[in-house]
């Protein structure tokens, strides 16, 4: 490099001598000298830059020698990802506002699926979900979903103020006032935690192990993120607390059906997702995040078949059922008549059990194997109070009350007109009319939803789903304390608006006629309710 620079310098010097002696005398010698100096400075700068580049290249070569890059062979597969690199994160949040427009008995306002329905309640965070999921390998899929909007029970209670003397029939319960506490809300609680283990490459046969949704009822399996109505109907939802339980479920879905179930959700048609064309499961039966209380398990099975017409319309028909025994929870109440009516709390003078110990609060007796029931000969107060001690305790390893249902489903997916309908029948735990005994009793109920999907392409306002829902239920609410009888007849009209894929707004008006399951004597209430919900997806 130095030799090259010297040659250039010698050439420039020779040129300068020639210019000085051979050029015409009139030439401006001073200008020529300045030009030569400028060229010399430029060459020196280029030489310095070349030396810096050489030094940097040497440093890079040394670093590469110390940390050699992996050899990449043409056509070789990419390096495998770590399991945590295959996990995706998504979620959604729902905020509601409820307003009771009118009510026959305001303090008894209650809805089984929405804790925010009640006196003096306004804004409410219904769900805050984060979902972690991904295919860890070709045969293992993980799914984890916590909810950060869970709240403990007892935030509001309608406690009786006093017994009005001279009114023995309604005295204790007909005169109530609200009492309040400072219970906090919005705790984190597990919703789903399961693994899908596929036994074949196409993932047509798989086992779902952990806490997950029970394959019973289309509305129960449908995600709250995609569901049209704000709450699931009582008729189907009373089967399973939080729609989930801990167990093992087997799913079979042909490959083309897997794609169809996925597209029904992806194309905004209110699908339920892939819970198998055929499903069979074994699970605890007490509900999600709850301790198992008997040695028996619940069994569930389901068969569904979606059919695609030539014009693209999709219809789906399903049948499902489960069986098992459920251990209900009980607490002390004052027995009375009129449950699930407007005159609940009635205690006539000739009331059959209007004697000790039934003059005060008593826990209902559970008529099922393993309790102090007549089969064990340990009680004399049931079925007729004669003498002895009322003891409703579980003393012989409780088996629980019979709990079984069967349901049918019919779906016409909204393209653009849609119908969702389900009905189920069965037996389950229910408090008897005297509010003294929890036993198995008949139940039935279901719903019909009619909707229309409208995509506004002219003004770009988004997608609208106006809908009408009617639901009815008659039977026990097994997951509530004392399994009170629940009588529901409700009509709801609403619209879901999706201005953006990540934002949804729902407004619904409901004329409700349902039972207050939160507080004995379980009065019926009628009212008109306006609800609004904003949901954002992420």
Which residue, among 521, 204, 489, has the nearest Cα to 346 in the 3D structure?
A: 521
Evaluate if residue 78 carries a pLDDT over 50: yes
Among the ranges given (137-151, 167-181, 454-468), the one the predictor scored with the smallest mean pLDDT = 167-181
How many whole angstroms separate alpha carbon 174 and alpha carbon 346? 9
As a whole number, mean pLDDT of residues 323-329 equals 94
b (16+ CB within 10 A) / e for 471-502: bbbbbbbbbbbbbbbbbbebebebbbbbeeee
Evaluate if residue 170 carries a pLDDT over 90: no
Which residue, among 325, 333, 395, 386, has the nearest Cα to 364 in the 3D structure?
A: 333
pLDDT-above-90 percentage for the chain: 57
* Arch. (CATH architecture) of 87-331+393-537: Beta Barrel (2.40)
pLDDT, greater one: 317 or 177: 317
Which residue, among 287, 276, 286, has the nearest Cα to 254 in the 3D structure?
A: 276
Token digits for 29? 């010698």
pLDDT, greater one: 217 or 111: 217
Q: Which of 67-81, 113-127, 279-293 is modeled with the greatest confidence?
A: 279-293
As a whole number, mean pLDDT of residues 421-427 equals 98
Per-residue pLDDT tens over the stretch 359-383: 778 888 888 876 554 444 333 444 4
Q: Look at residue 114 in the predicted model and tell me its pLDDT.
A: 87
pLDDT, greater one: 320 or 380: 320
Unique residue bearing structure tokens 């489960």: 322
Q: Look at residue 173 in the predicted model and tell me its pLDDT.
A: 42
How many whole angstroms separate alpha carbon 461 and alpha carbon 455? 8
- Whole-model pTM: value is 0.79
Token digits for 37? 């100096």
Give φ, ψ of 433 to 5 degrees: -60, -25
Token digits for 526? 């009628």
pLDDT, greater one: 416 or 350: 416
pLDDT, greater one: 62 or 391: 62
As a whole number, mean pLDDT of residues 461-478 equals 98
Helix (H) or strand (E) holding 221: helix 218-221
Among the ranges given (64-78, 444-458, 523-537), the one the predictor scored with the smallest mean pLDDT = 64-78
Evaluate if residue 53 carries a pLDDT over 50: yes
b (16+ CB within 10 A) / e for 278-308: bbbbebbbbbbebeebbebbbbbbbbbebee
Which residue, among 97, 127, 189, has the nearest Cα to 529 in the 3D structure?
A: 97
pLDDT, greater one: 235 or 156: 235
Unique residue bearing structure tokens 């005159």: 343
Q: Look at residue 191 in the predicted model and tell me its pLDDT.
A: 96
Work out the mean pLDDT of the chain and round it to a whole number.
Answer: 84
How many whole angstroms separate alpha carbon 15 and alpha carbon 21? 10
Q: Look at residue 437 in the predicted model and tell me its pLDDT.
A: 87
* Segments of 119-233 assigned E as strands: 123-135, 140-150, 156-160, 176-180, 187-198, 205-213
Tell me 73's DSSP state.
Answer: P
Can you state the percent helix, strand and coil of the chain, rounding each to 5? Answer: 15, 40, 40
Domain boundaries, the chain: 2-66, 87-331+393-537
Contact 531, 124 (CB under 8 A): no
Which residue, among 341, 339, 359, has the nearest Cα to 349 in the 3D structure?
A: 359
């Amino acid at each position: 490099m130095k030799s090259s620079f010297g040659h250039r310098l010698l050439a420039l010097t020779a040129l300068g001598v020639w210019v000085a002696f051979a050029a015409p005398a009139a030439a401006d010698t001073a200008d020529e000298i300045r030009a030569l100096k400028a060229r010399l400075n430029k060459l020196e700068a280029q030489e310095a830059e070349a030396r810096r580049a050489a030094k940097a290249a040497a440093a890079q070569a040394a670093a590469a020698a110390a940390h050699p890059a992996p050899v990449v062979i043409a056509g070789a597969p990419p390096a495998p990802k770590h399991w945590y690199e295959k996990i995706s994160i998504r979620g959604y949040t729902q905020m509601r506002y409820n307003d009771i427009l009118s009510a026959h008995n305001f303090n008894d306002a209650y809805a089984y699926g929405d804790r925010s329905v009640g006196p003096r309640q306004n804004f409410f965070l219904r769900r805050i979900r984060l979902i972690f999921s991904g295919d860890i390998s070709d045969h293992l899929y993980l799914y984890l979903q916590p909810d950060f909007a869970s709240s403990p029970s007892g935030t509001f209670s309608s406690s009786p103020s006093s017994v009005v003397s001279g009114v023995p029939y309604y005295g204790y319960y007909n005169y109530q006032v609200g009492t309040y506490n400072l219970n906090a809300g919005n705790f984190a609680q597990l919703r789903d935690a399961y693994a899908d283990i596929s036994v074949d490459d196409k993932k047509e046969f798989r086992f779902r192990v952990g806490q997950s949704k029970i394959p019973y009822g289309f509305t129960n399996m449908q995600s709250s993120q995609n569901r049209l109505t704000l709450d699931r109907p009582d008729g189907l939802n009373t089967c399973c607390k939080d729609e989930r339980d801990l167990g093992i479920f087997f799913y079979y879905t042909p490959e083309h059906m897997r794609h169809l179930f996925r597209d029904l959700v992806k194309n905004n048609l209110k699908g339920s997702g892939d819970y198998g064309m055929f499903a069979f499961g074994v699970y605890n039966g007490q509900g999600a995040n709850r301790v198992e209380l008997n040695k028996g398990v619940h069994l569930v099975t389901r068969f569904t078949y979606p059919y695609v017409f030539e014009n693209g319309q999709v219809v789906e028909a399903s049948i499902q059922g489960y069986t098992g025994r459920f251990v209900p929870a009980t607490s002390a109440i004052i027995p009375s008549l009129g449950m699930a009516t407007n005159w609940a709390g009635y205690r006539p003078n000739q009331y059959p059990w209007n004697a000790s110990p039934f003059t005060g609060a008593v826990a209902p007796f559970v008529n099922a194997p393993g309790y102090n029931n007549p089969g064990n000969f340990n009680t004399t107060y049931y079925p007729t109070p004669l003498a002895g001690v009322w003891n409703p305790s579980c003393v012989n390893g409780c088996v629980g009350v019979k709990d079984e249902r069967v349901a049918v489903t019919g779906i016409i997916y909204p393209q653009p007109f849609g119908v969702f309908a389900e009905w189920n029948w069965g037996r389950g735990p229910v408090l008897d009319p005297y509010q003294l005994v929890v036993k198995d009793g008949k139940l039935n109920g279901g719903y019909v939803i009619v909707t229309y999907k409208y995509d506004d392409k002219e003004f770009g306002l988004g997608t609208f789903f106006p809908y009408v829902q009617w639901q009815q239920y008659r039977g026990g609410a097994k997951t509530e304390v004392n399994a009170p009888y629940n009588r529901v007849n409700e009509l709801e009209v609403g619209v879901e608006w999706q201005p953006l894929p990540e934002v949804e707004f729902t407004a619904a008006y409901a004329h409700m006629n349902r039972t207050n399951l939160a507080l004995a004597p379980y009065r019926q209430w009628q009212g008109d309710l306006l609800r609004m919900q904003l949901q954002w997806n992420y």
